[in-house]
Structure 1
């Protein structure tokens, strides 16, 4: 595609640039995580479980901005694999929290190496200082206001 008309205009459109960068990042992440039987979404759920915060499925859905039914399917898959377990929330017996198993922590440790390598490759155009600025700015956009919410 040439840089004429709307294509040129899109290079100055922040929403388009964020969407395109996201699509490229997701494709790279999914390819890297495939060797571990994961995708970016399931890896993200596992990361939250490994973090030790004991998030509920509702908290995971809110944090990842996914429909709760999507989170149920992701948690079901990770539970079938023995990577996580659902435990009763001691503060609310009607809710379950998601907890990583030993196998899940090992899977995450291996997958995290692949995810970080893919991230380095997809962001190779940025030096460390630029990457740090981008992380800080995207963090402000992703979690506006008083700071980043925590799952769990």
Structure 2
């Protein structure tokens, strides 16, 4: 190992043992950054990123979300959601339809092509998700998902 590699490794280990590495907010942010990078890499072959995949997933799930619901659920600015939907609509993956419960609002629905792409992309994301947590057992993965749901949906 070269002196530069040794210094990098030692520095990384020193930082890993720092006070910040015990901070829950930092750990969540770092884990999120690593997971997003892995997901975006897997989604690239489908022409998607994590945010556009999230919108497509909700549209393909037949929950018929409004743009406002998407913005709130995904914690994005409404203008970001509009841009994501526009991009998916240009690819004929989703459609805006009038909300039967409120004619002033639109709901988002996946097209057949959108559902097919979502199924392929979901397989890619699942494969990466399991691969990015090699030290986590399936039981720990389920527990982690439950804990994250508690944090993500506190009410």
TM-score when scaled to structure 1? 0.92
The one-character-per-residue Cα deviations of 1:108-136 (angstroms, maximum 9, x if unpaired) are 01101101011011111100111111000
Q: Distance in 1 between matches of 2:127 and 2:16?
A: 34
Identify the structure with the greater helix proportion: 2
Aligned ranges 1:97-116 → 2 under 5 Å? 97-116=107-126
1:91 CA displacement: 1.2
Q: Distance in 1 between matches of 2:15 and 2:130?
A: 32
Partner residue in 2 for 1:79? 89
- Greater RCO, 1 or 2 (C-alpha within 8 Å, sep 6+): 1
Q: Runs in 1 of length 4+ with deviation above 6 angstroms?
A: none
Tell me if 1:139 matches 2:149.
yes
Aligned residues: 145
Aligned ranges 1:30-109 → 2 under 5 Å? 30-109=40-119
Aligned-residue Cα RMSD (Å) equals: 1.3
1:81 CA displacement: 0.4
Alignment gaps of 5+ in structure 2: 1-10
State the SS of the aligned residue for 2:18. Answer: helix
The one-character-per-residue Cα deviations of 1:59-104 (angstroms, maximum 9, x if unpaired) are 0111111111000000000000000000001111111000000000
Distance verdict in 2 for CA 1:129–1:55, change over 3 Å: same
Q: Distance in 1 between matches of 2:26 and 2:76?
A: 21
Alignment gaps of 5+ in structure 1: 146-152
For the pair shown, which has the larger CA radius of gyration, 1 or 2?
2
